[in-house]
Amino acid sequence: MHCTTWLITDVDLPISSLSNNVHCHTATGRWYRGKVVQVCENENKVDVFFVDYGDSEFISCDEILPMPVILRRMPFQAIECSCLDIEPVDLQWNEDVCDVFFDLYYNKHFMAQVSVNHVII
């Protein structure tokens, strides 16, 4: 799959009139708020980050619409975070380690200390 990390408004696709904030219809049959991260030109798909859940999925271009203004006004619910001083042995986490981490922490309540290292504008 050939993908590029362009903004959706930078490519000449039928969806080029959409903003990066989109409303996505997923395999679950529901609509979710998302932000386009990548455009796969030759497959007419976009990689969408779901701003309220924190996961991503490749969505067909005919399954997304511009996000309604009222939904853009609400703050995104997903917060990107990382664990301090925890890094993969190699340059990238392997799938087994990711699965163990997921099983340990997904849908679990735990205490965290939050600090902000940088601000994205």
Beta-bridged to residue 49, according to DSSP, are 35, 56
Domains of the chain: 8-73 (2.30.30.140)
Q: How many CB atoms within 10 Å of residue 18? A: 19
What pLDDT does residue 20 have?
A: 67
What pLDDT does residue 14 have?
A: 46
Mean pLDDT by 10-residue block, N- to C-terminus, for the chain (121 residues)?
40 47 76 86 85 88 83 84 80 88 84 67 50
What pLDDT does residue 119 have?
A: 56
User: CB under 8 Å, gap of 24 or more: what pairs does 101-106 form?
Assistant: none
Query: What is the pTM (predicted TM-score) of this model?
Result: 0.60
